[in-house]
């Protein structure tokens, strides 16, 4: 019987994953649970904290411990990540007072962003926290809560994010990692790595915010109540945790300056490790998971969700479990450039680099010769142009990409991943283990208690293959048209 296991759990937008891993990186058990994101109004995106965040954590730990040769006492540390940054008010018993308001896909606080920019000043906000106010920022969403639900704001003991909520349910400790906190613009002082009331007087009393710590610090220990609910052993250490994308980056070996993770999923997310504390107005910046390390980030609002939409609405004739494979085979029959179609993938606004929640999707250039495969290929190419726009912005900010690591379910979509390499000119490394953030959390748990070092992730998750770039001049031409199409239509398509 293996003596030491590390539990990693990740709560994603549509799925929760959990793994039990030994000190060499071998997976002893894994499980996943599907859940829903609710959209009560256009531009809103929510989870149920009880049913999805905590409920899934409880279910998945019980599933993992059902295996007959695994026992709670073997688990030496627990690490959790979840979608973020999110906004959730809780009372003094860690009970949710509202739904969990999700990250940048939730755009309800646009008026609050405009108000804060007008009253505090865009430049002052950016210089203070290293980030412009966008739909990713939590400060405006707290102000939205305070404005629209003052009774809930007043009753709230704390306002937390998803990971904080789960860790507090496990340990009774209310903590948040610096990487996540940097997204609470304009409440976080990035230069001094602390909460600050300098720009937050109209938004929140900062005593309502969690305690700041580093991701691999021990937040606390499994309480008696949490042990009863999860079947984990009372007293097991729990790390502070982080956002899912950061744990995903750890899982594939992002550890050196110049490394970039590209996460393929319902949205795309990018994390690049920088040389020093850098900021860019069209990207996001934050301290990394470890002291004296920093990162630049970017994220789309839609990517895999568009392919899901296309399958649902225009591929009902295809067998569900094979639909994406069949669509990919069909798309490969369409030529590069999709017979001069260009798609803007802004079907739910866009985050980086245009930061426009009102942006709209466009399929441009249609004529009567186009077939389903051309349109699907154009969607894949549009998503890929959006990704290249982000990589171009990284480069323009002074960041020099050295290695690109691809991870996430979308990597299995060969036409998607290869198109991004062909458009961008970058090769992408794919690791053998593709579990993602849950696996990264297991590594962070082992790291937190000193059982591994940072470099051990290379042995835990070695290289599987490389997606090699095969550039085509047509992509260069169409990428410029892609950017011009947005510029020339953005004022026409305001919602």
The rounded average pLDDT for each run of 10 residues, N- to C-terminus, in the chain (495 residues) is: 90 95 96 95 95 98 91 97 97 98 93 96 95 94 98 98 98 98 97 95 95 98 98 98 96 96 92 92 94 95 93 90 91 97 95 91 98 98 98 93 92 93 97 94 98 96 97 96 96 72
Task: Indicate the CATH number for domain 5-245.
Answer: 3.30.420.40
pLDDT at residue 222 in the model: 98
pLDDT at residue 494 in the model: 65
pLDDT at residue 495 in the model: 56
Euclidean distance between CA atoms 349 and 152, whole angstroms: 29
Euclidean distance between CA atoms 86 and 95, whole angstroms: 16
Cβ(330)–Cβ(413) below 8 Å? no
Helix (H, G, I), strand (E, B) or coil at 363: strand
Euclidean distance between CA atoms 266 and 268, whole angstroms: 7
Per CATH, domain 255-435+462-495 is 3.40.50.300: no
62: how many CB neighbours lie within 10 A of its CB?
15
Cβ(96)–Cβ(88) below 8 Å? yes
Euclidean distance between CA atoms 117 and 126, whole angstroms: 10
Cβ(101)–Cβ(86) below 8 Å? yes
- In angstroms, the Cα distances linking 51 to 59, 61, 170, 339 are 10, 14, 15, 46
Quote the distance between the C-alpha of residue 408 and its chain's center: 11
pLDDT at residue 266 in the model: 85
Quote the distance between the C-alpha of residue 351 and its chain's center: 12
User: How buried is residue 70: exposed, middle or buried, by Cβ count under 10 Å (0-12/13-18/19+)?
Assistant: middle
Long-range (24+ apart) CB contacts under 8 A made by 359-363 are 359/486, 359/490, 359/493, 360/489, 360/493, 360/495, 361/302, 361/306, 362/485, 362/489, 362/493
Q: Spell out a b/e string for 343-369, using b for 16 or more CB atoms within 10 Å of the CB, else e.
A: bbbbbbbbbbbbbbbebbbbbebeeee
Cβ(12)–Cβ(55) below 8 Å? no
Quote the distance between the C-alpha of residue 99 and its chain's center: 19
Q: Where in the chain is the domain with CATH 3.30.420.40?
A: 5-245, 255-435+462-495
pLDDT at residue 130 in the model: 93
Q: Which residues pair with 259 in a beta bridge?
A: 403
């Amino acid at each position: 019987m293996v003596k030491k296991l590390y539990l990693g759990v990740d709560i994603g937008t549509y799925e929760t994953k959990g793994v039990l891993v030994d000190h060499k990186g071998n997976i002893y058990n894994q499980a996943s649970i599907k859940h829903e994101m609710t959209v009560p109004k256009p531009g809103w995106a929510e989870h149920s904290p009880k049913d999805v965040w905590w409920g899934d954590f409880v279910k998945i730990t019980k599933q993992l411990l059902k295996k007959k040769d695994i026992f709670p006492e073997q688990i030496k540390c627990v690490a959790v990540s979840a979608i973020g940054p999110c906004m959730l008010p809780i009372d003094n018993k860690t009970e949710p007072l509202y739904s969990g308001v999700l990250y940048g896909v939730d755009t309800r606080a646009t008026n609050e962003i405009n108000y804060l920019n007008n009253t505090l000043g865009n430049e002052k906000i950016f210089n203070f926290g290293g980030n412009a106010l966008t739909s990713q920022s939590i400060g405006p969403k707290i102000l939205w809560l305070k404005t629209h639900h003052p009774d809930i704001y007043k009753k709230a003991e704390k306002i937390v994010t998803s990971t904080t909520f789960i860790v507090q349910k496990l340990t009774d400790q209310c903590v948040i990692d610096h990487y996540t906190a940097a997204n609470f613009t304009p409440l976080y002082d990035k230069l001094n790595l602390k909460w600050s009331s300098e720009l937050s007087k109209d938004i929140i009393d900062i005593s309502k915010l969690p305690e700041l710590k580093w991701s691999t610090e021990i937040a606390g220990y499994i309480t008696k109540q949490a042990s009863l609910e999860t079947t984990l052993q009372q007293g097991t250490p729990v790390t502070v945790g982080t956002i899912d994308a950061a744990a995903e980056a750890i899982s594939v070996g992002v550890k050196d300056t110049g490394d970039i993770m590209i996460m393929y999923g319902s949205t795309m997310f990018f994390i690049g490790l920088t040389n020093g504390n850098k900021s860019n107005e069209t990207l996001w910046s934050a301290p990394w998971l470890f002291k004296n390390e920093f990162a630049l980030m970017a994220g789309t609002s839609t990517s895999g969700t568009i392919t899901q939409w296309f399958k649902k609405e225009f591929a009902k004739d295809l067998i569900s479990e094979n639909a994406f494979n069949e669509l990919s085979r069909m798309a490969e029959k369409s030529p590069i450039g999709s017979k001069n179609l260009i798609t803007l993938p802004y079907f739910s606004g866009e985050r980086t680099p245009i930061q426009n929640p009102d942006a709209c999707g466009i399929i441009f250039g249609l004529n009567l010769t186009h077939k389903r495969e051309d349109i699907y290929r154009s969607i894949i190419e549009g998503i890929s142009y959006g990704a290249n726009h982000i990589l171009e912005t990284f480069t323009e900010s002074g960041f020099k990409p050295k290695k690109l690591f691809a991870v996430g379910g979308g990597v299995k979509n060969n036409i998607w991943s290869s198109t991004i390499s062909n458009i961008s000119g970058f090769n992408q490394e794919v690791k053998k283990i593709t579990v993602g953030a849950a696996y990264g959390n297991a590594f962070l748990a082992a790291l937190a208690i000193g059982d591994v070092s940072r470099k051990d992730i290379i042995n835990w998750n070695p290289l599987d293959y490389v997606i090699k770039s095969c550039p085509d001049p047509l992509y260069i031409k169409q990428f410029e048209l892609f950017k011009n199409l947005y510029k020339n239509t953005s004022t026409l398509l305001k919602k």
